[in-house]
Chains A and B, each alone.
Chain A
Amino acid sequence: MTEPDSLASQAPHPTPWPERILRMLAGVVLVAASALVFANLEWFRSVEAMAATPVVGLFVPAGAATDFARQTVYLFGDGASPVLGFVVSGGCSVGVLVALLLLASSPMALISRFNPAGVLWAVLAAVCVSFLANVVRTSVIAVVGGRYGREGAFFFVHNVGGAVFIVVMATLSVVVLFKLLLSGGRRVPVPPRETVPT
């Protein structure tokens, strides 16, 4: 088989219209989700604080609670002021990262050869990796800051440890996205490699 023949055999078949619609829908869903997160970053932070609360509650004597409207986790019984709480601020959120991830993934559903359902699943998993990583980071900062003081310990876990961790985990979420796309989301199976005798 010559090289042009090989390429011709791998050329994608015309996409049937139901699949085109599905692709369009998947792309629109991703763009819409991205816009929603961008427009509601404060709400997203509230959800992050809410998700971190059960984890924080495991490590403080009298549990934790969330004030959803203020993106605050209150720690009870650890000696920290329960009035102040732990606020998930704009810098502590992965909202922008998630919105960008959603936006960047939308073309994959629209123009790539990936299965649209697979793209959605991969994006969901990648978003969840980022989200979960930030929940872990938030919880660690809240617990360590609450228990060991809001000066030295808080600074270290927030500005040093937390920052490095979130960069690593954000990268991991992109890796997970592509891993999932490449492992199960392809529409057209790649033919086996052939060695051309010379």
Chain B
Amino acid sequence: MARTMRAEASAGPVRLGASDRRRWGIQVVALVVVAAVAGLLVTGVDRVFVRPALVSVPEMRGQDPVVARATLERLGLQVAETITSPAGFRSGEVASQRPPVGAGLRPGGVVELGVAAQPVRIEVRKNSYVGRRTSEAETTLRALGFVVSTERVVSEIASGTVIDVSPDGPVMQGEPVRIVVSKGVG
């Protein structure tokens, strides 16, 4: 027993040192782990992106451009104005918008407003359109600023071909132009 006591006494200081080292070791490891977690959290905050709330684009067509601009800017959107054909709208009104009504835009997104131009009289030549495909004729006439209506009739001419356009002659932009289209024999 006395030998045991001597052995413990002689090993005492050495054991204490090792124990202290272990104690400090675990503290240092804990400190490193806590610091690593803190570092990851701080770094991770920079990589969080916030999904922005989208703004729904309201109906602007038919409105005065000044009012439309104010409305859109109040919603946090930007406005770009272009001049477009006055088809179906009075001169100076907003005649078109992009993106369309109900589309979602991020705050700061741009809405392009097409303001109806002062209408002018344009010569519509029936012969320029007869025999062309319907979609082609409609697109051309709409681009010129006319309100296009299409009527389909039974005809021996190939389906989808323009048969007649009226009026034939000078037409004011914004006024209706009627296209008659063949729907075939059946």
Residues of A whose CB lies within 8 Å of any CB of B are 47, 50-55, 57, 63-69, 121-122, 124-125, 128-129, 131-132, 135, 176, 179-180, 183-184, 193, 195, 197-198
Q: A179-B26, A183-B23, A184-B27 are in contact. Are A66 and B44 (CB under 8 A)?
A: yes
Say whether B120 faces chain A, with CB atoms less than 8 Å apart.
Answer: no
Q: Does B5 sit within 8 A of A, measured CB to CB?
A: yes
Q: Is the CB of B1 within 8 A of A125?
A: no
List 4 additional contacts besides A53-B44, A67-B48; criterion CB under 8 Å.
A52-B44, A125-B33, A176-B26, A176-B33
> In the assembled complex, how far is the CB of residue B13 from the closest CB belonging to chain A, in whole angstroms?
13
Please measure, in the bound complex, the distance between the C-alpha atom of A191 and the C-alpha atom of B124, giving whole angstroms: 111
Contact B22 A128 (CB under 8 A): no
* A-B CB proximity, top 6 nearest: A125-B30, A50-B44, A51-B40, A183-B23, A54-B43, A128-B37
Alpha-carbon separation in the docked complex, A122 to B31 (Å) = 10
Report which residue of A47, A124, A125, A135 has the largest number of chain B beta carbons within 10 angstroms of its beta carbon: A125
A132 & B45 in contact (Cβ 8 Å cutoff): no
From A66, A67, A122, A132, contact of B37 by CB (8 A): A132
Q: What are 20 A-to-B residue pairs whose CB atoms are below 8 Å?
A: A50-B45, A51-B40, A66-B44, A66-B48, A66-B49, A67-B49, A125-B33, A125-B34, A132-B33, A135-B37, A176-B29, A176-B30, A176-B33, A180-B26, A180-B30, A183-B22, A183-B26, A183-B27, A195-B1, A195-B5
Residue of A nearest to B5 (CB): A195
Pair A65/B47 contact, Cβ less than 8 Å: yes
The residues of B with any CB-CB pair to A shorter than 8 Å are 1, 4-5, 8, 22-23, 26-27, 29-31, 33-34, 36-37, 40-41, 43-45, 47-51
Q: Are A54 and B1 in contact (CB under 8 A)?
A: no
How many A-B Cβ pairs are below 8 Å?
77
The answer to whether A129 and B41 have CB atoms under 8 Å apart is no
Contact of A132 with B36 in the complex, beta carbons under 8 Å: yes
Cross-interface CB contact of A128 among B34, B45, B48, B51, cutoff 8 Å: B34
Residues of A within 8 A of B51 (CB): 67, 69
Say whether B34 contacts A124, CB under 8 Å: yes
- Decide: A50 near B47, CB < 8 A? Known: A195-B1, A198-B1: yes
Which chain B positions have C-beta within 8 A of A125?
A: 30-31, 33-34
Specify which chain B residues have a CB less than 8 angstroms from the CB of A132 in the assembled complex.
33, 36-37, 40
Distance between A150 CB and nearest chain B CB, rounded to angstroms = 22
A51 → chain B closest CB, angstroms = 4
CB-CB under 8 A from A52, the residues of chain B are 40, 44
The answer to whether A197 and B47 touch across the interface, beta carbons within 8 angstroms, is no
Q: Report Cα–Cα, A16/B73, bound state, in Å.
A: 66
Question: Max chain A CB contacts within 10 Å: which of B48, B49, B50?
Answer: B48
